[in-house]
A and B are shown apart, each in its own frame.
Chain A
């Protein structure tokens, strides 16, 4: 029997933790789309889940080679149902827990690189929201004749708030990068 859960995460590590908690209870994620997760019943703790932001879209040449490599390492990719899957860079992997602990990044450098990709993503989303947001507000401010409706003002303000939210999301990621960088000073 499958169970569908609607939930939205910003922090991929919290999402990962939640998926692993569900797996521990015997509910294994089998497919997902935006904010929607489908679980199938499985053995308790049968799978370990990991989430990664790829450098390239799933169908990009770099990713195809990488995903092939993961497959050879016994790693399965959970299907992304619907949505702009072709351009999506977020992937959910899983591997049987019987194969031992499953991590994607095991050293400081590669962890930093991964967090940087996420940081860059949130920053560019924020920037885009700001640009479109301020353009909308600007249109209203410059409009003497009154063709531009208040919808633009509301839209603009909402986008600016959204941009600020993404800027906020990037802060903890930045802190994790800083922390890892200081670890590196001691460890290497």
Chain B
């Protein structure tokens, strides 16, 4: 999972539209991850296709499309967390101890 996708999924625990996601990802990452609008658009399309997020059936005349994470998306985040945990703990075992 790319960091962009990971942060998009985290953002969508609260329903959000595109611009909101961009702002939120910036906030979460202390300005480090600045999602390009085109990249975000492509990622949202792929994630909907996979069933990890879904567009919210909101008010019809609202032009801004909002998205929300699905149960499958939550599972994907959980397995990503397990993977990241493993990466972190292996790195820390080698390096973390020495620096403390």
Contacts and interface: CB of A to CB of B under 8 A. Distances in A.
| Secondary structure call for the B interface | helix
B13 interface: no
B84 to A, nearest CB: 14
Interface string B32-65: 0111111101110000000000000000000111
A72 B39 contact: no
B42 A73 contact: no
Interface size classification for chain A: 20 to 34
Contact of B39 (A70, A101, A104, A188): A104
Interface residues of B, number: 20
Contacts of B64: 72
Contacts of A188: 2
Interface stretch (A33-41, A105-113, A119-127, A148-156): A105-113
Contacts, number: 52
A12 B42 CA distance: 21
B38 A105 contact: yes
Contacts of B17: 72
A110 B37 contact: no
Interface of B: 2, 4, 17-19, 22, 26, 33-39, 41-43, 63-65
A105 B36 contact: yes
B38 A52 contact: yes
List the 10 closest A-B pairs by CB distance, nearest first.
A106-B36, A104-B38, A103-B36, A110-B39, A73-B37, A106-B39, A105-B36, A104-B36, A73-B19, A105-B38
Contacts of B38: 52, 104-105, 110, 114
A177 to B, nearest CB: 16
A18 interface: no
